[in-house]
Amino acid sequence: MWEKLKKLEEEYESLSKKLADPNIVSDSKEFQRIAKAHAELEEIISKYREYKKLLQELEEAKLLAEEDEELRDLAKEEVKLLESELSRLEEEIKMALLPKDPMDERSIIMEIRAGAGGEEAALFAADLFRMYARYAERKGWKVEILDKNETGIGGYKEIVFRVDGFGAYSRLKFESGVHRVQRVPVTESSGRIHTSTATVAVLPEVEEVEVEVREEDLKIETFRASGRGGQYVNKTDTAVRITHIPTGIVVSCQDERSQYKNKQRALSILRAKLYEMERMKKESEIASMRKSQVGTGERSEKIRTYNFPQNRVTDHRIGLTVYNLEEVLDGDLDEIIEALIVADRSEKLSRLVAA
């Protein structure tokens, strides 16, 4: 870690010299690029230099404690204070060194699909959608439904929606995976507890320039939107289904009354899926022999159980159990999310130290 910091300091000095170079100052684009890189390093270099300064002061205090009898007690007290400050600063430096996820600030697209359990799984999917919608409301984020397939008694076979808000991905990215519910279904007359599942996928929203989608790779179909009735339902072909031929990915959107808007929304879902597919591929190549403590985020991974008889929610990746199921399903997710973020940082820190 210290060798890496030394190299970063050298890079920082080099960037500082370039910022004073008249040739670079006259090139606005290059100057902005270097200034941005310089600013990104400034905080960690400042902490590193403070650490080195305190380390020097510690050595001097230790020497004083050994050689000067009159000041020995004061010097020993100074040593304790400096060691405590160095320990705190070292942790801050480690945190600053952790690679930042460039997607953390983004809005997201979420997909919830009913899994095993028939109608009960569809009802559970609806519960999960309400949970995330309530959480978004608490954060001041906006939720827009992009596509949905409802069942007769209020469930969803699938629902796709956008959560628009700064930092949405950083808070919800660990929600991807299989969620399991254990409860007595409303459709069960004998009172037996059933286990059902729903799958959640969290995709960072990406711009057109970040993912190239060629028109010739798309099969675009229009169809009539389904719904509970109304002036526009089942009268015009406003719903859009897009198939990405090279990957076989199929997305659809029917929630808008405009075919153009539905197409644009479907394309945004497709771009997010293609970006996520490429990201997962790269991560698999880089870390094929390593799994993050909080899970890979793959849809096949069972991540959480919601047990109604015991009022219990358990996140299996970090062994966290809370007994406030009703509050969690009402969007009170921060305790679980914070624990997942801490576990992820701890895992990354251990890898950083071991590197």
Residue 289: strand, helix, or coil: coil
Do 190 and 83 lie in one domain? The reply is no
What does DSSP say about strands 177-183 and 302-307: parallel, antiparallel, or unpaired? parallel
pLDDT in tens, 99-110: 777 788 889 999
pLDDT of residue 297: 46
- Of 277, 112, 262, 115, the residue nearest 204 (C-alpha): 277
Domain boundary among the residues 64, 97, 130 is at 97
Nearest to 327 by CA among 83, 131, 43, 61: 131
pLDDT higher than threshold 50 for residue 233 = no
Whether 83 and 171 share a structural domain: no
Provide the pLDDT confidence category of residue 226 given band limits of 50, 70 and 90.
low
Q: Is residue 352 part of a domain?
A: no
Per-residue model confidence (pLDDT) at position 187: 66
Is residue 260 located within the same domain as residue 316?
A: yes
| In the predicted structure, residue 46 carries a pLDDT above the cut 80 | yes
Total of domains in the chain = 2
Question: Lowest mean pLDDT: which of 13-22, 184-193, 272-281?
Answer: 184-193
First to last CA, the chain: 7
Question: Which residues, in sequence order, are CB contacts of 249 under 8 Å at separation 6+?
Answer: 243, 270, 273, 274, 277
Q: What integer pLDDT is reported at residue 263 of this predicted model?
A: 84
Per-chain mean pLDDT for the chain: 83
CATH of the domain at 211: 3.30.70.1660
Domain boundary among 47, 78, 97: 97
pLDDT class of 292 with cuts at 50, 70, 90: very low
Residue 230 pLDDT: 42
Structural domain boundaries, residue 205: 108-346
Residue 319 has pLDDT above 50, yes or no: yes
Looking at the structure, tell me whether residues 270 and 223 fall in a common domain. yes
Query: Does 194 or 233 have the greater pLDDT score?
Result: 194
pLDDT score of 265 more than 50? yes
Q: How many CA atoms lie within 13 A of 280 on its CB side?
A: 16
